[in-house]
Amino acid sequence: MLGVLLRRLASALPVLAIVSLITFGMIHLIPGDPAAAIAGMSATPEQIANVRRDLGLDQPILGQLWRWYGDLARGDLGRSLLLGVPVLDATLQRLPVTLALSAYALVLTLLLGLGSGIVAALKQNTWVDQAAMVLAMIGISLPNFYLGLLMIILFAVDLRWLPTGGYLPLWRDPLGWLATSTMPAISLALLLAGLLARITRSTMLEVLRQDYIRTAHAKGLPRRQVVLKHALANALIPITTVVGIIITLLISGAVVTETLFSIPGIGQLLTQAVLNRDYPMVQGGLLLTTALLVLINIGIDVGYALLDPRIRHDG
Amino acid sequence: MDESFGDDARSDRRAHPLWTTIRRLLRHRLFLSGLILFAIIALAAILAPWIAPVDPNKLAMRYKFQPPGKDFLFGTDNFGRSLWSRVIWGARLSMLIGSSVVLINAVFGTLIGAAAGYFRWLDNGLMRVNDALMAFPAVLLAIAVTAVLGPSIGDVIIALGLVYTPRTARIVRGSVIVLREMEYVQAAIAAGAGHFRILHRHILPNAMAPLIVQLSFLFAVAVLTEATLSFLGVGAVPPTPTWGNIMAEGRQYISDAPWIIAIPGAALMITVLGLNLLGDGLRDVLDPRLRVQP
C-alpha cells in the first residue's frame, strides 16, 4: 500500500515540476511587452516600469525562474493585482465553495450514473436500457452552461422555485446552500452522470458474462445478492479509475457554472482574474488547482489499490 | 507482389476494406443519425452566405426583441440583429474552429505520439510534458492560454490545439507501442526497412482507427470549449457571432427574450450530439475491440 503511494508520489513530482514550469512560462507568451499588457492600455510608462519591477520581469529569465521556484518552495505564489491579497489566501478562501459544489455534483453523478448504468445493464436490450442510454447520450451532449441557462429560464424565471444565482455558505445556512447549489450541481452532474452510466453499463455487462456469475446463479443465490455482491463489487474496481477523470471534469466545469450562477468559488475567481489581466492570480490559481487534482488522483489510485488486491500485490 | 495484391483488391470493389467500412457505417443507425445532425450544421455553415445573406452584425433597433416567427425565423436580439444570420454565421465559426483544432491534433498528435511510441529514448521526456499538460483542467488551461495570447479566433484555435493535442498524442502513442512489437513490424525491421518507412507504411496506417474515433469526439469537445470560452467572455470578442457570444449577450434578457439563448444553445447541442453519435458509430465499426458485445 505504502509502495503504491510512494510510487505515485514519485511519478507526480516531475509532472508537477513541469506544470509549474509551464505556468511560469505562460506570462512570457504574452505578445509584445508583458508588463505593458498587464498594466493596461491607459498605463503611464512609470506604471509599466512598476509592474515590470514588481513582477521581476526586468530580471534575466533564469533569475526569474530561480525566484519563481524559491517563492513556490516558501508557499508564496505572489500577490493578486486585482484583489491586493496573496494569491494563496485568495485561492484557499474560495476553495471550500468549489469543493462543496463539486462534492454535491459528485454525489448526484454517482447516484444517477451508477444507478442508471446498473439498471440498463440488468435490463439489457429492453426499452429501459435504451431509454437510459438515450438519456445518457443527451446528458453527454448538453453543454453544462446551456443546461444551466435552460434551468434558470424554467425554475427561476418561470416557476420562481429557485433563485437565479447567488450563494449562501453551507455551514451558515444549509437550506439556503441547497437552494442556491442545486441547479449548478445538476448542470454539472448531468454530463458526468451520462459518461458514468455508459461506462457502468458496459463494465457491468462484461462482469455479468463471467463464469463466476453463472456459478453464483447456479448455486441458487438470490439474484439481488449475485448482482450486488458478485457483479457490482467487481465492476466497481475499473469504475473507480473513472472517478478521477470525473473530478477533473467537475473542477473544469465549475469554471463556467460558478460564473453563470454567481458562485464565489475558484472558477469565478480565475475567470475574473483572466478578464482583468490579473496574471499572478491566473498563474497561481491554475497551479494550485492542478496540484490539487494531481493529489486527488493519487488518492484515487491508492483507493484503487485498496480495492483490487492484484494491484496491491504487484509492486 | 505487394502491388498485384493492391490491384486485385481495387478491381473487386466489394472486397475493398474502405468500401466495406463505409457500407457498415451507413448501416449503423446511430452513426447515420449523427451524420445527419452534423451534416445539417455543416451545410448551414458552408451555405451561410446564401441562406443567411443579412449581415449578422447589421443593427436594426426598430426590430429589436422580435420573437421567432414569420418575419424573423429565429427572432432578433437586443440590437435588432437577425438571430438566423447570427446563428448560421456562428455555425461557420464553430466549424472553422472545430476543424482547425482537429487538423492541429491530427498532425501534431500523430507526430508526437508516433515519436514517443516508436523511439523509446524520446518517450520519457515527451510523455512527461504531455502528462503535465494533461494534468491541467482543460477549460482552465484554455482560458489561461487565451488570456495570454489574446482574444481572436486564431488565438482560440492555438489555445485549444495546445490543450487537446497531448490527449491525442497519448492515444497515438498507445497504438504505436502495441504495433511496434507486432511480428510483421519486427519482420520489417529485420528486413532492413528504415524508421520512416516502418512508421509510415507499417505502423501508422494501423494506428488510424483509434485516432479517427478520437478526432470525431475531439471535434465536439473543441466546439464546446470554444463556446464556453466565448460565453465566459474570454473567447473571440463581441460582436463576433460565435454561439457562446450570442448566449452571453442574451443572458441579460433571459426573462423577456429567452430565444436569444435557447436557439444558439440548441445549435451547439445538435453539433455536439451529432459528433458524439458519429464518434460512437465510428468506434463500433472501426475499433471492434472497444465494442460491448450485445
Contact A157 B258 (CB under 8 A): yes
Sort out which chain B residues have CB atoms less than 8 A from A153's CB and list them.
254-255, 258, 261-262
| CB proximity B94 to A under 8 Å | no
Mean predicted lDDT score pLDDT of chain A: 87
**What percentage of chain B has pLDDT greater than the value 70?**
93
Full DSSP string of B41-61 = HHHHHHTHHHH--S-TT---G
Long-range contacts of A170-173 (CB under 8 A, 24+ apart): A170/A100
Cβ A205 vs Cβ A124: under 8 Å: yes
In this predicted model, what pLDDT tens digit does every residue of B249-266 receive, in sequence order?
988 888 888 888 999 999
Q: What is the mean pLDDT of the segment spanning A67-75?
A: 85
Q: What is the pLDDT of residue A313?
A: 62
Question: Rounded to an integer, what distance in angstroms lies between the CA atom of residue A111 and that of residue B65?
Answer: 41
pTM: 0.89
Which of B33, B94, B140 to mutate against chain A (most A CBs within 10 Å)? B140
**Measured between CB atoms, which of A15, A26, A282 is closest to B135?**
A15
C-alpha cell at B156: 482560440
In angstroms, what is the C-alpha Rg of chain A? 24
| ipTM higher than the 0.85 cut | yes
The better pLDDT of the pair A301, A109 is held by A109
The predicted pLDDT at position A315 comes to 44
What DSSP state is assigned to residue B252?
Answer: G
User: Which of B133, B143, B247 is facing A274, going by the closest CB pair?
Assistant: B143
Query: What pLDDT band is residue A147 in, cutting at 50, 70 and 90?
Result: very high
List, for residues A239-284, the tens digit of each pLDDT value: 887 888 898 889 888 889 999 999 999 999 999 898 888 888 999 9
> Across all residues in chain B, what is the average pLDDT?
86
Task: Say if residue B5's pLDDT is above 80.
Answer: no
* Partner residues linked to A79 by β-bridges: A86
Packing angle of the helix pair B83-104, B204-232 (nearest 10 deg): 140
What confidence score (pLDDT) does residue A37 get? 77
Helix and strand numbers, DSSP H then E, in chain B:
14, 0
Q: What percent of chain A has pLDDT over 70?
A: 98
